[in-house]
Chain A
Amino acid sequence: DAGITQSPRYKITETGRQVTLMCHQTWSHSYMFWYRQDLGHGLRLIYYSAAADITDKGEVPDGYVVSRSKTENFPLTLESATRSQTSVYFCASSREGRLAKNIQYFGAGTRLSVL
Chain B
Amino acid sequence: TQLLEQSPQFLSIQEGENLTVYCNSSSVFSSLQWYRQEPGEGPVLLVTVVTGGEVKKLKRLTFQFGDARKDSSLHITAAQPGDTGLYLCAGPTGFQKLVFGTGTRLLVSP
Q: Which A residues are closer than 8 A to B by beta carbons?
A: 30-31, 33, 35, 40-45, 48, 50, 58, 90, 92, 94-96, 100-104, 106-109
Contact = CB atoms under 8 A, between A and B. Distances in A.
A102 B101 contact: no
B21 interface: no
Contact of B40 (A30, A35, A108): A108
Interface residues of B, number: 23
Contacts of A92: 42
Interface of B: 4, 6, 9, 31, 33, 40-45, 48, 88, 92, 95-103
Contact of A102 (B9, B43, B98): B98
A47 B7 CA distance: 27
Nearest to B42: A106
Contact of A103 (B6, B9, B48): B48
Contact of A31 (B40, B45, B96, B102): B96
A108 to B, nearest CB: 5
A48 B95 CA distance: 10
B42 A107 contact: yes
